Chain A
Amino acid sequence: MRLTEGNTMNENRNVKIRVRQLSKVFGNQPKKALELRDQGLKRPEILEASGQTLGLSHINFDVFEGELLVIMGLSGSGKSTLIRCLNRLIEPTEGDIVIDGENISELGDKALLECRRRHFSMVFQNFALFPHRTVLQNAEFGLEIRGVDKAERTDTARNALKQVGLDGWEDAYPNQLSGGMQQRVGLARALANDATVLLMDEAFSALDPLIRGDMQQELLELQHRMQKTTVFITHDLDEALTIGDRIVLLKDGEIVQIGTPEEILTRPADDYVRRFIEGVDRSRILTAESAMRKVRATVRDTDGPRTALRKMREHGIDSIYVTRRDRSLMGLLEADAAESLVKEGKESIAEALTQDFRTVGPDEPMHHLFAMFTAKRFPIAVVDERKRLLGVVVKGAVLDELAQAAKEGGN
């Protein structure tokens, strides 16, 4: 089987945070709980036997520089504990958390404060804004704690507020803002701080669905622009699939699967993951047809290169599908090729077509499409049994469709 994009990329990316053998026991006899765990007991049995709660056990994963890693699990899976172990808001019982070569688990009090200031910004589920501070003062908080001087931190905070679309609200107080805007302030506070890692703890879960969707898109944009290493916690599969470069799936304090959204959806590691994403009627929803988009413009094989170029300009595209009289697909004409045809004074476009794209039938299962995207740079053409062009599938549409299907399946 082909390696999916996520895996091939992992090999040459820098590791930002390395988590090894991390475990957390809640209770006063952590050693005992870990012994029981090593004897093969599971969480409920350990609780029964020792009164200790095994919050996390043997957690191993890496966070790569610049990626958006989603840690996903249902309530009680340990995801909130895990994100708090990263900056030691919760003290890990055993294991190592190494950021840029520095082992956080071994830091003394002072070094820990220093490490939190340098490396971590955090966004919280219920915003956790300071009600006695203005929006600007909230955004300044991290810098103020670090001792950055007034003029500089105000400048940085204003900039961060602008990035999240809150310019003009600097002097308002948090209680004057809607939930979505409050979380933007939370995000601005994190961005202004300019730490190397952004921790987001169910950051969008308290927002209503419409606003949540907007915030997810904005986060993706921000992330794309700033390439900030982000660890995002959620219980929502839809959200995880939409925003995650990779997903760590937690269950009962243990990792069940790590992978790209595609991998999780197409090759669930076990029944638990499968149940998570099941309920989706793959044969009906997850086909090329469901993610297909209508083709905005095509040209006929008898059209000249000038016509083709004009249509491409009109629709703002740089390649166009060419069909025959019976609407069957002949090939794809790129703008460059059409231009050279014009220069050379040729009238027939048939010889300049490229076949460097995939064609699939409308019933093609969605998960077959992923691999095709990495192989070819053009959208996938969907054709019927008589080779007539029905539409195209672009990569984003596939993910949206999968996420949507997963969400409906979950309901």
Chain B
Amino acid sequence: MAFDIPRIPLGRWIEGGLDWLTSEYSMVTRAISRVTQSGIAWLNDMLMWLPEWALLAVIAGLCWKLANLRLAIGAVAGLALIWNMGLWEPMIETLTLVVIATLVAVVIALPVGIAAALSERLYRAMMPVLDFMQTMPAFVYLIPAIPFFGIGSVSAIFATVIFSMPPAIRFTTLGIRQVPVELIEAADAYGATRGQKLFKVQLPLSLPTVMAGINQTIMLALSMVVIAAMIGADGLGSEVWRAIQRLRPGDGFEAGIAVVILAMLLDRLTQSLRKSRKR
């Protein structure tokens, strides 16, 4: 009490920075917002345009081809339950957000991960940033998302991408760094250029690890997309949110179970993708 150390106004600085970003780059953020919004709408419309049974058949077929019959049967049963509970539309909305957020995250993460694997300096710079992105409570990302992109799905995707990207970067870097040195040496000995080394040796060999990272990203994206209901994202999350506000545990669990089904389906599907690539 005697020590009167002035409080460091860390929060105010961050706010100032964010305000500045918002006002200076509102043109950019609005543009991103519009493009993303139309992307979401297009994918969502596509998935909704298909009759439920048709989409169900497509997903079941995909499961069968990429994994096995058991997963296909499970997928049909799970999705039929969601349909039956009347949660088909929010499920599609959630799926759309997850797919788009994952795509954006992977498109950013792969080159960054590769660059970090190849450059020791970038690797050292990246690691604390990734730690920060992952350990910061996910909700916090929602706050600046709103002034940037407004209430709704685009903000949800922004927050989701930041939250779910780190594992994809980490695993890509890890996968490439794990390629045995003697294989790199062999490629060098035969006169491979950096590009040939990357595309013919490093990337193919790190693919299983990269896929594991993408699997993690999808799972994180799904959990974040649900939380993002708090800033107005549509989907299963908003069903849960509504159930909380109205104190209806039954509705809440139904929507929750739908999230679990979707998560299991996406997880098994991407994992089988990884295994089928690996010999």
**A residues bordering B, Cβ < 8 Å?**
87, 89, 113-117, 120-122, 124, 126, 128, 130-132, 141-142, 144-146, 173, 175, 193, 199
Contact = CB atoms under 8 A, between A and B. Distances in A.
A142 B279 CA distance: 23
B191 A132 contact: no
B77 interface: no
Given A132-B205, A173-B279, A145 B185 contact: no
Leading 7 A-B pairs by shortest Cβ distance? A117-B191, A116-B191, A128-B186, A122-B189, A128-B182, A142-B190, A113-B191
Given A122-B186, A124-B186, A144-B200, A132 B279 contact: yes
A28 B253 CA distance: 64
B62 interface: no
Nearest to B207: A132
B114 to A, nearest CB: 17
B196 interface: yes
Contact of B190 (A116, A131, A132, A173): A116
B182 A130 contact: no
B190 A193 contact: yes
A124 B190 contact: no
A120 B196 contact: no
A131 B192 contact: no
B204 A132 contact: yes
Given A144-B200, A173-B279, A128 B185 contact: yes
Contacts of B185: 89, 124, 128
Interface of B: 180, 182-183, 185-193, 196, 200-201, 204-205, 207, 279
B183 A141 contact: no
B201 A130 contact: yes
B182 A126 contact: yes
A369 to B, nearest CB: 40
Contact of A120 (B183, B189, B205): B189
Contacts of B188: 89, 116
B192 A145 contact: yes
Contacts of A87: 189
Contacts of B200: 141, 144-145
Contacts of A117: 190-191
A116 B189 contact: yes
A298 to B, nearest CB: 54
5 contacts: A126-B182, A128-B185, A141-B190, A142-B191, A173-B279
Chain B interface mostly helix, strand, loop or mixed?
helix
Contacts, number: 60
Contacts of A113: 191-193
Given A128-B182, A130-B183, A145-B196, A114 B191 contact: yes
Contacts of B196: 145
B183 A145 contact: no
Nearest to B205: A132
Nearest to B277: A132
Contacts of A145: 187, 190-192, 196, 200
A170 to B, nearest CB: 15
A87 to B, nearest CB: 6
A365 to B, nearest CB: 43
A119 B193 CA distance: 16
A124 B191 contact: no
Nearest to A176: B279
Contacts of B180: 128
Given A122-B189, A142-B191, 6 more contacts: A121-B190, A128-B180, A128-B183, A130-B201, A131-B279, A175-B279
Nearest to A143: B190
A176 B127 CA distance: 38
B72 to A, nearest CB: 28
B67 to A, nearest CB: 21
B79 to A, nearest CB: 34
A146 B183 contact: no
Contacts of B193: 113
B186 A131 contact: no
Contacts of A173: 279
A284 B89 CA distance: 93
A172 to B, nearest CB: 11
A199 B189 CA distance: 10
Tell me which of A124, A132, A141, A144 has the highest count of chain B C-beta atoms within 10 A of its own C-beta.
A132
B189 A89 contact: yes
Nearest to B278: A132
A144 B191 CA distance: 11
B191 A146 contact: yes
A87 B187 CA distance: 12
A139 to B, nearest CB: 12
Nearest to A132: B204
Contacts of B183: 128, 130
Given A116-B190, A116-B191, A131 B205 contact: yes
A197 to B, nearest CB: 11
Contacts of A120: 189-191
Nearest to A114: B191
A393 B223 CA distance: 82
Contacts of A141: 186-187, 190, 200
Contacts of A128: 180, 182-183, 185-186
B209 to A, nearest CB: 13
A142 B189 CA distance: 9
Contacts of B205: 130-132
Nearest to A126: B182
Given A113-B191, A116-B190, A146-B191, A124 B182 contact: yes
Nearest to A115: B191
A142 B186 CA distance: 10
Nearest to A117: B191
Contacts of B182: 124, 126, 128
Contacts of A131: 205, 279
